[in-house]
Structures are given as structure tokens and as C-alpha cells.
Amino acid sequence: MIEDFRLLEKNGFRLLPYKLVTDEGSAAAAAKVMEYPVALKVVSEDISHKSDIGGVKIRIRDEAALRLAFREIMENVKGHKVDGILVQKMARKGIELIIGGKKDAQFGHMVVLGLGGVYVEIFRDVTARICPVTDDDVKEMVEELKSHPLLVGARGEKPIDMKALRKMVLGVCTFIMKEDIKELDLNPVIFDEKGGDVVDVRFTR
Amino acid sequence: MDEMLKKLKYLFAPKSVAIVGGSPVPNKIGNVLMKNLIDGKFMGKIYAVNPKYTEVLGVPCFPRVTELPKAVDCVIIATPAETVPGILEDCGQKGVKGAIVLSGGFEEVGRNDLAQMMKDISKKYKLPVIGPNCLGIFNPYTRLDSIFLPMYKLQRPGPGGIAFITQSGAVGSTVVDLAAHYGMGVSKFISYGNGTVLTECDLLEFLENDKETSIVILYLEGVKDGRRLLEWMKKVNRKKPIVALKAGKFGKAMAAARSHTGNIAGNYMAYKAAFRQAKVTEADDLVELFDFVKIFDQPMPSGNRVGVITNGGGMGVLTADAINDQGMEIADFSNESKEAIKKILPSYGSVGNPLDLVADSGVESYKKAIDVMMNDQNIDSLAIVVLTQTLPIDERIIGVLSEANDLRKKPILTISVGGDYTEAYRRAFESKGVPSFNSPLSAIKALKRLTDYAAWRNKNSD
């Protein structure tokens, strides 16, 4: 997981500040540097659904809560092989998008953009293009989404940073082609007017 | 491949053709093929190849391709799969220009060995091969016809500008039949089956510069090389609009519930992405396919502002709704047009878009109104509702619409909703090249596709 984060950063993606720690003290120190609120997530090869077994605590606002949360997670994941705990800054409020990539048997690498988070399954508001894509392609992808009005600022909200979004979609294409990734999910990526932060990553080579 | 593609023209317009398996026995495929060529008035010499006969239906018959008096341009093979490689080898040795293999029994039943032999022989002799497992070619211009279905069961369309590339024979034959039924002109029909040697990409490449083809229909089930398809769609669609229909959209992946890209993005999503990138117009079913194809014969509109003429208020409103629904614009008439329209309308009529000529209006009012809209710079395309049920409408309307259509100035379409009587009018409009629809929404949907395509092509013209 941390390797995935680092590889993405190396390829120019902006991730939320994070640090992998193994003890409570380091967790508190890391949280102080990145500033509260933060989230704690267990990092383990064994556990695929971290939140189902209580391996995730979010919106932690101070050190006391952090120390308590740390202990609770460790208690919950007892018996699993644990690599550490990820301290991650909480994302700002914004629109959750999914930016993904896939290698199709006939068409090769393709990039997918859609409304992310829990909405992926409900609305299936996604669109795709075959890589490599142009700036115009990305522009069209954004316009094709049913949630397009949300992205450009519905009901007085500020429009999200389209330049950053386009850069990220183009970046995903370049990345999956260069590294020959079979499947990639940046989900969610939280976008607001100041740009987009990748919150969670998953990929298979 | 280049040399093979050069030879491909002989398959569409051969001076001579030999049917391997040509037979005098009624209802054998080799018999239907011969009959279709003879009765269909194929414009070239016909031979049969069959060791059992010296003559079939009055046509000379030879035991092997190698024993034909000369190398023919096209050999049509409908014999069992095992015999096909040997026959292709004969074709190569004889110097035949190309072959159509109708027989099934290759990749589709796991006989990849036979398919491989076919590829090898084709490569050795640079012999273009269509098929196997297909209906092959129908060319209305030369009357080459390898569709092994009798003409009384499946009508053949006349010559025109629509090329049709299809993997499936069943869908292909249905479309041929319907095209004939609707009076649509076809340039080439190609059912390529397994695409063992020549694929949809090769055929697109060929059609790019085919003089008789102005529109391409692409029916796909699955392709081997999606990237190559994308490149060729991009290239050809710039010159000739492609309308595509993809079958097999919903695989297991779509049923999967997990929210990962791999599951959300099934294989169809890749096709859809490719269509969008190439700006290919995608139809969702066969009805849409025909709706779109018939409007792509129209001149390219320069914008999305639609002028509506109607002789029934309600149908005008439905058309306006469809225009809004499809994200098109209801045109604002110029002042000159408004003045001119006032003179057309009866005293109780009012100027507006949709322009309601009212039910008492006759053909003459249509003629004048169309004329005004054709000359109004604020109008990019015309949607003309003709309710044929009203008393003043008679067959002169066909001439009026046909004349307007022949100007090739702006796209026009007609909307006529009704039963058998109306249907006869619609057929008459279409026989004059005026696209006609039986619902406002299907008409405007098609117009929207044409408008989008035109906008893209304008933007990207060199």
C-alpha cells in the first residue's frame, strides 16, 4: 500500500499527507506535523476490508482521541499480520471522484472517470476513453458525466479545479501505460476549487 | 496487406466469378448462389466448379479451380471446411485475385488449425479472403452476390452510397432486406464472419477511398485489435460518417457489484470510449441504426437551430419538446422571415416556431414556408411535420419536399405519424431521398447526431 502511494507520488500525483507508523507515539507526532483532523487506517496484507473489522478511524481531532483510536484499532485487528498504521490527514470537503485505469483485452489501456466514493455503484456515472487521451478528450469526459453540473459548481458552490482534474486524468493514462498497470483505482479523489487529493489507491499489475 | 487490399476491388467488381460447389440440385447453397448470380444479372462471366458436372444451370462447370479456362477474379467457396484450404491453394496457384469463403467450421468450432492454414495460404499468394463463416459480398453496382439466401426471401437493395460492414450474417441479411424495403441505396454489403484474413479494419481502409461509398455502417460483435479499429474509425469517419452498432454489451462484468474500475468498466465501455474518441455515431439498436443512416445522407448543418413546420399544433409541440430534450435549439426566425410568413398564414394564424400552418393549409403553404426557412440564416435545419390525414394534403407534397431536398442546402426531414395511408407517404418521401420518421423524438434524435457530427467535422476540417 505504501509502495503504491510512493509510486504514485513519484509519478506526479498529489496524495493527502500520510505517514506509516508502528507505535502510538510516532502516530501522535505525525498527526501533529500534518495537523488535525486525521484518520488512522490499519495497513495489512491480510485484511481487505479494513473498515469492516474496525481497522479505520476517521475525523480524529486531537492527540487524546488519536491515542485512544490507535489502541482500539490494534485491539480490533489482533491476530492479523499488521505492517503498521497509516496516519492520514483528513480530506477537505469536496466532490468525491473516481479516476481509474484498466487494460482492456482488445483496446489496451483505458482511463475511466466518474462520480466516486459510495456513489460509484449506485449511479454508475462513469465515462471512459482509450489511452492516450488528449486534453479535449478529458474535457468531453467531464461534460459527459451526469454529475457535470456538480463539478462546475451547482447551487452556489465553487467549481472544482478543472485544470487539476484534467492533469490527473492525463496523468493516469501516462502512468498506467508506462508501468503497464492492469487495473488502477484512485477512489476517492477529493476535488474542490483548490485541486484534487488522492485519498485511496488500489492497483494490480 | 497493401497488395491484398489492392486486389480487394476485384472481389467487389470481378469480371469473372467461379462458384465452388455450384450445383443444379435445388435448395443446395451452391444452387442458390448460382441462381442469385444468374437471375440477379451479375455483370460478368460465371463458372461453376464441381467434379460431378460439366454444366450447371447452363453455365460451364469444371472439376477444379486449377482447371478453369483462365484465372477468375473471384472465387466463392461454400464447401465443407476441410476442403477449403485445398481450394484456396488452387486459387493461389491459378492466380485467382480473391476468394470469399462462406463455409463455417473454423475458429467458431475450435478448428483454429484450418483457420491458420487459410491465413498461411492467403499470405503466400497475397490472396485477399473474406470470411469464413459469413454471407460474403453483395454489390448492387456489379450485382456480385454471395448471399446464399434466395431473392424471394431476401430482397436486394439498389445501388447507393451506404456501405455495410458486418460480422454477423443474420443481422447482415436482415439489414440488407430492410435497406431494400426502405428503398435505401447500398454501395457494398460485406459480411466478413470470422475475419480470419481480412478484418473490419482492412474493410474500413478499403472503403475510405471507395468512390461509391459515402456512409459506412459498422456492425460489431467483437474485434481482435481494438486499437487498430480506433485508428481506422478515426481516419475514415473524418471523410465518411460511420454509424456503429455494437452487440454483446452486457457481460458478466456488468453484474458484478464491487466498485472497482475493472468491474464498472466492462469491455463494452472500451468500445463506447473508442466510438466517442473517433466521433463515430453509435446506434443502440437496429431501428436507431436506420434512423441515423438515412439522415446522414443529408447535407451537413452549420448549427443546431431547427426550424419546425407543421400542419397540426400538437405535433409541432411534440417536435419542439424533442428538440429541447435532445439539447438542440428552436430557431428564432429573422425579421424578414417573420414578414414573409405572415403572408403565408391565414388571418387567424400566428408566426412562431414551430410554425403552425394550420390544418386548412395546403401544399402551397408548405412550399412557401420551406422556401422562407431555407433562406433564413438563423435556421440550420428543417423538421417538417406533414400530417397526411388532413384534407388539403395531397401527393403534390412529395414533389415539394423532393425539390427542397434536391437543393442540398440544409438538412430536411419529415415527421408523419399515422397508419397505412401515412406509411405510403413516408415511403414516397424516402424514395426521393427525404428522410421520414414516424415519431418526433426519433426524428430529432437522428438530426442531433447529424448536427454533432457536422460540428465536429467542421471543427476538424483541414
**Selection from B333, B341, B354 nearest residue B440 by Cα:** B354
Picking from B180, B213, B246, the residue at the C-terminal end of a domain is: B213
pLDDT grade for B362, boundaries at 50, 70 and 90: confident
Q: What are the pLDDT digits (tens) for B396-424?
A: 999 999 999 999 999 999 999 999 999 99
Measured in angstroms, the CA of B273 and the nearest CA of chain A are apart by 5
**Selection from B20, B84, B82 nearest residue B53 by Cα:** B20
Measured in angstroms, the CA of A170 and the nearest CA of chain B are apart by 15
Q: Using an 8 Å CB-CB cutoff, list chain A residues near B270.
A: 104, 106-107, 110, 128, 130
Q: Provide mean pLDDT across the span B86-102.
A: 97
Contacts of B152 (CB under 8 A, 6+ apart): none
Count of A-B CB contacts under 8 Å: 79
Contacts of A103 (CB under 8 A, 6+ apart): A109, A110, A176, A180, A181, A182, A183
For residue B261, the model assigns a pLDDT of: 58
- Ramachandran bin of B279, using left for φ above 0, alpha for ψ from -120 to 50, beta for the remaining angles: left
CATH topology of domain A95-204: D-amino Acid Aminotransferase; Chain A, domain 1 (3.30.470)
Measured in angstroms, the CA of A135 and the nearest CA of chain B are apart by 12
Q: Is B18 on the interface with A (CB under 8 A)?
A: no
Q: Provide mean pLDDT across the span B366-395.
A: 95
Q: Is B249 on the interface with A (CB under 8 A)?
A: no
Q: Is the pLDDT of residue B206 over 60?
A: yes
Q: What are phi and psi of B437, to 5 degrees?
A: -125, 150
Q: How many CB atoms lie within 10 A of CB B327?
A: 11
Q: Is B260 on the interface with A (CB under 8 A)?
A: yes
User: CA B68, B72, B78, B81 torsion: positive or negative?
Assistant: positive
**Nearest Cβ partner for A121 among B224, B257, B261:** B257
For residue B260, the model assigns a pLDDT of: 57
Q: Is the pLDDT of residue B142 over 70?
A: yes
**Given the C-alpha cell 459506412, which residue does it identify?**
B216
Q: Is the pLDDT of residue B462 over 60?
A: no
List alpha helices for chain A, DSSP H: 2-10, 24-34, 63-76, 119-123, 135-144, 148-151, 162-178
> What dihedral angle (degrees, nearest 10) is formed by the CA atoms of A200, A3, A52, A97?
10
Q: What are the pLDDT digits (tens) for A28-60?
A: 999 999 999 999 999 988 877 777 888 999 999
What is the share, in percent, of chain B residues with pLDDT greater than 70?
96
> Does B254 reside within a domain?
no
Cα separation of B225 and B125, whole Å?
24
- Residue B48 belongs to domain spanning: 2-213
Q: Give CA angle at B212 (B206, B218), nearest 5°.
A: 55
Judge: A106–B270 Cβ closer than 8 Å, yes or no: yes
Q: In this structure, what CATH number is given to the domain that contains residue B400?
A: 3.40.50.261
Q: In this structure, what CATH number is given to the domain that contains residue B49?
A: 3.40.50.720
First to last CA, chain B: 28
Q: What are the pLDDT digits (tens) for A185-202?
A: 998 899 999 999 998 888
**Selection from B146, B159, B136 nearest residue B36 by Cα:** B146
**Nearest Cβ partner for B273 among A101, A110, A114:** A110
Closest chain A residue to the Cα of B228, Cα to Cα: A107
Q: Using an 8 Å CB-CB cutoff, list chain B residues near A108.
A: 226-227
Cα separation of B208 and B201, whole Å?
11
**Given the C-alpha cell 442546402, which residue does it identify?**
B409
Picking from B179, B213, B247, the residue at the C-terminal end of a domain is: B213
Task: Please give the ipTM for the structure prediction.
Answer: 0.85
Q: Is the pLDDT of residue A153 over 70?
A: yes
**Residue B113 DSSP one-character state:** H
Range list of β-strands (E), B122-209: 129-130, 136-139, 144-145, 159-166, 186-191
Judge: A104–B226 Cβ closer than 8 Å, yes or no: yes
Q: Provide mean pLDDT across the span B323-335.
A: 97
Judge: B227–A108 Cβ closer than 8 Å, yes or no: yes
pLDDT grade for B250, boundaries at 50, 70 and 90: confident
In whole numbers, what is the pLDDT of chain A averaged over residues? Answer: 91
Cα separation of B300 and B238, whole Å?
13
Q: Give the SS3 label for residue A205.
A: coil
Q: Is the pLDDT of residue B252 over 70?
A: no
Range list of β-strands (E), B50-157: 55-56, 59-62, 74-77, 98-101, 129-130, 136-139, 144-145
Beta bridge partners, B144, equal: B139
Q: Give the SS3 label for residue A85.
A: strand
Cα separation of B449 and B444, whole Å?
9
Q: What are the pLDDT digits (tens) for B13-41?
A: 999 999 999 999 999 999 999 999 999 99
Q: How many CB atoms lie within 10 A of CB B33?
A: 28
**Nearest Cβ partner for A137 among B265, B270, B277:** B277
C-alpha cell at B239: 471523410
Q: How many CB atoms lie within 10 A of CB A22?
A: 12
Contacts of A23 (CB under 8 A, 6+ apart): none
For residue B249, the model assigns a pLDDT of: 78
Q: How many CB atoms lie within 10 A of CB B360?
A: 13
Q: Provide mean pLDDT across the span B151-169.
A: 92
Please, are residues B304 and B378 in contact by the beta-carbon 8 Å criterion?
no
Pair (B309, B204) in one structural domain: no
For residue B263, the model assigns a pLDDT of: 58
For residue B258, the model assigns a pLDDT of: 47
Cα separation of B101 and B77, whole Å?
5
Judge: A106–B264 Cβ closer than 8 Å, yes or no: no
CA-to-CA separations, A201 to A15, A138, B57, B243, in angstroms, rounded: 9, 21, 71, 38
Measured in angstroms, the CA of B216 and the nearest CA of chain A are apart by 21
| Higher pLDDT pick, B267 / B33 | B33
Judge: A130–B227 Cβ closer than 8 Å, yes or no: yes
Burial class (CB within 10 angstroms; exposed 0-12, middle 13-18, buried 19+) of A185:
buried
Q: Is the pLDDT of residue A171 over 60?
A: yes
Q: Using an 8 Å CB-CB cutoff, list chain A residues near B223.
A: 106
C-alpha cell at B452: 454533432
Q: Is the pLDDT of residue A178 over 70?
A: yes
pLDDT grade for B251, boundaries at 50, 70 and 90: low
Alpha carbons within 13 angstroms on the beta-carbon side of residue B80 total 2
> Does B454 reside within a domain?
yes
**Selection from A118, A31, A101, A47 nearest residue B258 by Cα:** A118
Measured in angstroms, the CA of B255 and the nearest CA of chain A are apart by 11
What is the share, in percent, of chain A residues with pLDDT greater than 90?
68
Note the CATH architecture for domain A10-89.
2-Layer Sandwich (3.30)
Q: Is B225 on the interface with A (CB under 8 A)?
A: yes
Q: Is the pLDDT of residue B257 over 70?
A: no
**Nearest Cβ partner for B273 among A100, A101, A130:** A130
User: CA B267, B269, B273, B276 torsion: positive or negative?
Assistant: positive
Q: Which 107-136 residues of chain A touch chain B by CB within 8 A? A: 107-108, 110, 112, 114, 120-121, 124, 126-130, 133
Greatest mean pLDDT range, A13-27, A74-88, A136-150, B366-380: B366-380
For residue B349, the model assigns a pLDDT of: 82
Pair (B309, B186) in one structural domain: no
Q: Using an 8 Å CB-CB cutoff, list chain A residues near B268.
A: none
Buried residues in B398-437 as b, exposed as e (16+ CB within 10 A): bebbeebbeeeebbbbbbbbeeeebeebbebbbeebbbbb
| Higher pLDDT pick, B117 / A7 | B117
**Selection from B439, B415, B455, B13 nearest residue B211 by Cα:** B13
**Nearest Cβ partner for B264 among A108, A112, A184:** A112
Q: Give CA angle at A202 (A198, A203), nearest 5°.
A: 125
Cα separation of A21 and A19, whole Å?
6
Closest chain A residue to the Cα of B222, Cα to Cα: A106
> Does B23 reside within a domain?
yes
Q: What are the pLDDT digits (tens) for A62-118?
A: 999 999 999 999 999 998 999 999 999 998 889 999 999 999 999 999 999 999 877
Picking from B162, B197, B213, the residue at the C-terminal end of a domain is: B213
Closest chain B residue to the Cα of A136, Cα to Cα: B277
Q: Using an 8 Å CB-CB cutoff, list chain B residues near A104.
A: 226, 265, 267, 270
| Domain boundaries defined on chain A | 10-89, 95-204
Q: Provide mean pLDDT across the span B121-139.
A: 96
pTM, two decimals, is 0.90
Q: Is A185 on the interface with B (CB under 8 A)?
A: yes
Q: Give CA angle at A22 (A19, A26), nearest 5°.
A: 65
In whole numbers, what is the pLDDT of chain B averaged over residues? Answer: 93
Q: How many CB atoms lie within 10 A of CB B155?
A: 13
Pair (B209, B310) in one structural domain: no
Cα separation of B348 and B365, whole Å?
15
Cα separation of B7 and A8, whole Å?
51
Domain count, chain B: 2
**Given the C-alpha cell 484456396, which residue does it identify?**
B88
CA-to-CA separations, A129 to A117, A139, B387, in angstroms, rounded: 21, 11, 43
Measured in angstroms, the CA of B341 and the nearest CA of chain A are apart by 38
Q: Using an 8 Å CB-CB cutoff, list chain B residues near A101.
A: 261
Q: Is B262 on the interface with A (CB under 8 A)?
A: yes
**Given the C-alpha cell 441462381, which residue does it identify?**
B35
Contacts of B387 (CB under 8 A, 6+ apart): B310, B311, B312, B315, B359, B393, B416, B417, B418
Q: What are phi and psi of A140, to 5 degrees?
A: -65, -40
> Does B50 reside within a domain?
yes
By mean pLDDT, which of B111-115, B352-356, B357-361 is the weakest? B357-361
Burial class (CB within 10 angstroms; exposed 0-12, middle 13-18, buried 19+) of B72:
buried
> Does B440 reside within a domain?
yes
**Selection from B83, B51, B86, B47 nearest residue B68 by Cα:** B47
